[in-house]
Amino acid sequence: MRPIRAWLSIRHPNLYAYWRTRLDPSIFAGLPLTMVVVSALYIGALLSGLTEEVVEAGGVLRLDQAINAAFAPWRESPFVAVFLWITILGTGSALTGVVLTATGFLWAAHRSHVIVPLWVTFLGAQATTWAGKFAVARHRPEFIDAVQATSPSFPSAHATGAMAVYGFVAYAIARDLPRRDQRVMIGLCGGGIIATIGFSRIFLSVHYTTDVAAGFLVGGFWLLAGFALSEHKKQSLVQTRSPATDASSSQRET
């Protein structure tokens, strides 16, 4: 590998410098950002393929209907009451409340650089979801009397919002925790909330499984975007403070 790197650095110095930066694991703008971009592109490709399958309404629709029918015998009290309560956590009003509350805590903790990425994640996910709903205009399954829904089915706004908002909040909490086991626990709790909200939509028969899957993909895309923006702002903040800190140290020494 060393002869190849040496040859590239001589023959194509600009290209070599670019890829060296892109694959540098020591800075966020290097390998971490490259992995985020690749993951976002992969999610976009999955969402595009899933949307095409839903529009064609072939085998995917039959699978959705089979899964929906499998839960029909279980849609009785107290299960319905439990999932009706859980699904509230994914409503627009609940998610807005979570984002506003998180904004307040972040501001109080002097982590204002995370606030804009949080709102970008939330608003971007919502805009994409509602644009997709009316573009695809998929009919919902026949849902039970205990719930009401009037908007198109694909993708699920609850699933999108849960992935984007609770995912970002989990990231914001875990980001500065000192121990790895604490970060893992926060991630598992956030993942559990997201998965449970998504499942509640399927159980209550207000969404097909592919609606929820698409919502998770949309939310995941914007979660990656918010994560990248937050880390970029964090790195910029550190770089801005470092010269000031060095200058202050020099003044004290003199």
26-82 residue pLDDT tens: 676 667 778 888 888 999 999 999 999 998 877 889 999 999 999 999 888 889 999
pLDDT band at 13 (very low <50, low <70, confident <90, very high): low
Q: Where are the chain's structural domains? A: 36-235
Angstrom distance (rounded) from CA 125 to CA 229 = 15
What pLDDT score was predicted for residue 4?
Answer: 64
Chain mean pLDDT for the chain:
86
Angstrom distance (rounded) from CA 118 to CA 164 = 9
Q: Report the percent of the chain where pLDDT is more than 70.
A: 81
Residue 19 has pLDDT above 70, yes or no: no
Angstrom distance (rounded) from CA 6 to CA 14 = 13
Residue 251 has pLDDT above 60, yes or no: no
Cis upstream peptide for 141 (omega within 30°):
no
What pLDDT score was predicted for residue 8?
Answer: 62
pLDDT band at 95 (very low <50, low <70, confident <90, very high): very high
* Of residues 253 and 98, more confidently modeled: 98
Best-predicted range by mean pLDDT among 6-15, 146-155, 223-232, 237-246?
A: 223-232
pLDDT band at 237 (very low <50, low <70, confident <90, very high): confident
Residue 24 has pLDDT above 60, yes or no: yes
What pLDDT score was predicted for residue 149?
Answer: 80
Residue 176 has pLDDT above 90, yes or no: no
What pLDDT score was predicted for residue 17?
Answer: 66
What are 105-133's pLDDT values in tens digits? 999 999 999 999 999 999 999 999 999 99
Amino acid present at 207: H
Angstrom distance (rounded) from CA 197 to CA 211 = 13
Of 91-105, 182-196, 221-235, minimum mean pLDDT range: 221-235
**CATH of the structural domain 36-235, one choice from 1.20.144.10, 2.130.10.30, 3.40.50.2300, 3.90.1660.10:** 1.20.144.10
Instruction: Return the HEC string of the chain.
Output: CHHHHHHHHHHCHHHHHHHHHHCCCCCCCCHHHHHHHHHHHHHHHHHHHHHHHHHHCCHHHHHHHHHHHHCHHHCCCCHHHHHHHHHHHHCHHHHHHHHHHHHHHHHHCCCHHHHHHHHHHHHHHHHHHHHHHHHHCCCCCCCCCCCCCCCCCCCCHHHHHHHHHHHHHHHHHHCCCCCHHHHHHHHHHHHHHHHHHHHHHHHCCCCCHHHHHHHHHHHHHHHHHHHHHHHHHHHHHHHHHHHHHHHHHHHHHC
